[in-house]
Amino acid sequence: MYYSPTIIQLAGIASNQTALHLSLVTAGLNAFGSIVSIYFIDRTGRKKLLVISLCGVVISLGLLSAVFHETASHAPAVSSMETSHFDLYTCPDNQSAGPSPVWNCMKCLKASSPSCGFCSSSKDKLLPGACLISNNTVKEVCQKENREWYTRGCPSSFGWLALIGLALYIISFSSGMGTIPWIVNSEIYPLHYRGVCGGIAATANWISNLIVAQSFLSLTEAIGTSWTFIIYGVISVVALFFVLVCVPETKGLPIEEVEEMLESRALQFKFWGKKV
């Protein structure tokens, strides 16, 4: 969620303004998911909602991984003719590579000496384009010819699927994993340990947020966006099994009964059935 505008650009949305506007939509979806959680938490139960939330997260991450794999596989080629049109601004790495057929938009964006961008074809953004040095001057030159300028992601016909995957992820996460752990935290700890345990849980949460925030862009550059989402998907699957095995259902239970249940290790594995 921290990188919604970046993910939107990685999906092939070139405009910073469009990416920002779409990220505002994702913020609205986050609020909507939280409202859904408020409505269902005492009707459905904590554990069931967590499981549904994590299933949605896993599915959405799988969808995002597949979309970005297809985006990378079908990235527009770099055309020597298109590039020569901007002869003064040709990306040095592309120029030194010669007429190599393996150069496409993705390879162009990975060039680092200096960093390069992809200027799409004026006829169709999915057609071969030019690989140029990335700076504001070149960006303006490219856009003056009614071309689109890409520095994060490549033109793709799958971009709308990435938006759907991102929206599904945000709704799934915010309606369960975004709210319920805080509620369960307030219910499962013994009274005399509640403050300390709540503090530890909050610290662990923000450390995890820091790790994700610091690692996401580095991972996308090192192993690609698709594999990055696969890694997060695997972590989510582990979290799903943890919830199924270890998290008790505390819906409708007084604090004393929750403490007794945890002390006797009577974890409710059959969370889907109705309580008697």
Q: Say whether both 93 and 125 belong to one domain.
A: yes
Q: Do residues 259 and 175 both lie within one domain?
A: yes
- Tell whether 178 and 247 lie within a shared domain: yes
220, part of any domain: yes
Per-residue pLDDT of the chain (276 residues; tens, 9 = 90+): 667 777 877 877 766 666 667 767 877 888 888 888 888 888 888 889 999 999 999 999 999 999 998 888 888 999 888 888 888 888 888 777 655 557 888 888 888 777 899 999 988 888 999 999 999 999 999 999 889 999 888 888 888 888 889 889 999 998 889 888 888 888 888 777 778 888 898 899 889 889 988 888 888 888 888 999 999 999 999 999 999 888 888 787 777 777 777 666 544 444 445 554
- The angle formed by the CA atoms of residues 248, 200 and 186, to the nearest 5 degrees, is 40
Domain assignment of residue 139, yes or no: yes
**What predicted TM-score, i.e. pTM, was given to this entire model?**
0.79
Domain count within the chain: 2
Residues 165 and 179 in one domain: yes
Are 233 and 62 within 8 A, CB to CB? Answer: yes
Asked whether residue 23 is domain-assigned, the answer is yes
| Residue 272 belongs to a domain | no
- Residue after which a domain boundary falls, among 102, 119, 150: 150
The pLDDT score that the predictor gives to residue 194 is: 78
| Angle, CA of 171, 173 and 179, to the nearest 5° | 110
Residue 106: domain span: 80-150
Does residue 269 form part of some domain? no
Query: Residues 189, 69: one domain?
Result: yes
In the chain, what are the helix, strand and coil shares in percent, each to the nearest 5? Answer: 65, 5, 30
Cα 116 from Cα 132, distance rounded (Å): 5
Q: How far apart are CA 35 and CA 53, in angstroms?
A: 14
Are the beta carbons of 121 and 112 closer than 8 angstroms?
no
Domain boundary among 126, 150, 174: 150
